[in-house]
Amino acid sequence: MKLVASIYISPKGVFLNNELQFSLTEENWKKEIYSKLEIDYSKFHKMDALSKMAFLSTETLSNAVNTNKYDDNGMVLLFANASSSQDTDLKYINSYEVKGSPSPSLFVYTLPNILTGELAIRHKWYGENCFYIEEKFDAEFYLEQINFYFSKGAKACLCGWVNSFDGKEECFEFLIENEGNDNKELIKEELIKLYNQ
């Protein structure tokens, strides 16, 4: 396997392979990235914070490396976080407890795996998806799951750690290809380093 690229976004900025692409100044920092990337994708504006972050990260990644060279079943999406969709869950509860009626547009985002659906739609990826709830970022766990999917024929795994809760928002994505013989332990160390920086 081979670590192809990584991307980290938060209100601090956009970091591709640990290098700052641009810093962010606006409060609506996700919209700021959207504008900077000059994307025209109306679905973006309906997304919740998790989907927006995963979308923007994947756009940045796709600008930097070719994410469509695999057959359309070949890309596996393995995403995880610690807080599920709890941020949107609370907004949705507010819609019926305070605002008067349950909001269907919020309700559909009260599942964390909606974000992998958004990525699949945008990039026409028909491959396998899985969303895990983990207590904290665990590089070894990702590599374990990646190994499962590579052994079943996947060409690449786009993995993500995307959290939105209690005002804290961040998204870390990395792309691992089946081709290549990089040492798994070194990839693990690299991922831990990339996430923590």
Q: Figure out which of the listed residues 25, 42, 66, 151 binds another protein, where binding follows CB under 8 A.
A: 151
* Segment (H or E) for 101: none
Q: Figure out which of the listed residues 11, 120, 192, 195 binds another protein, where binding follows CB under 8 A.
A: 120
**What's 43's DSSP letter?**
G
Quick check: 127 and 16 in contact, CB under 8 A?
Answer: no
Nearest to 139 by CA among 176, 167, 114: 176
The binding track of 70-109 with respect to another protein, each residue x by CB under 8 A or -, is: --xx---x----xxx-x--xx-xx--x----xxxx--xx-
Give the Cα separation of 180 and 106 in Å (integer).
42
Can you give the length of the chain in residues? Answer: 197
Q: Is there binding between residue 116 and another protein (CB under 8 A)? A: yes
- Assigned token pair, 188: 């693990």
Q: Cβ 14 to another protein, closest distance in Å?
A: 25
Q: Cβ 66 to another protein, closest distance in Å?
A: 18
Window 9 to 68, contacts with another protein (CB under 8 A): none
Q: Cβ 96 to another protein, closest distance in Å?
A: 5
DSSP letter string, 180-195: S---HHHHHHHHHHHH
Residue whose CB is less far from another protein, 21 or 93 = 93
By rule CB under 8 A, what count of residues binds another protein? 49
Give the Cα separation of 86 and 101 in Å (integer).
19
Q: Cβ 71 to another protein, closest distance in Å?
A: 11
Gap between the terminal Cα atoms of the chain: 23
Q: Figure out which of the listed residues 10, 17, 21, 147 binds another protein, where binding follows CB under 8 A.
A: 147
Give the Cα separation of 14 and 21 in Å (integer).
5
Residue whose CB is less far from another protein, 22 or 126 = 126
Window 155 to 174, contacts with another protein (CB under 8 A): none
Nearest to 145 by CA among 80, 193, 195, 67: 80
Binding site for another protein (CB under 8 A): 72-73, 77, 82-84, 86, 89-90, 92-93, 96, 101-104, 107-108, 110-118, 120-121, 123-135, 141, 144-145, 147-148, 151-152
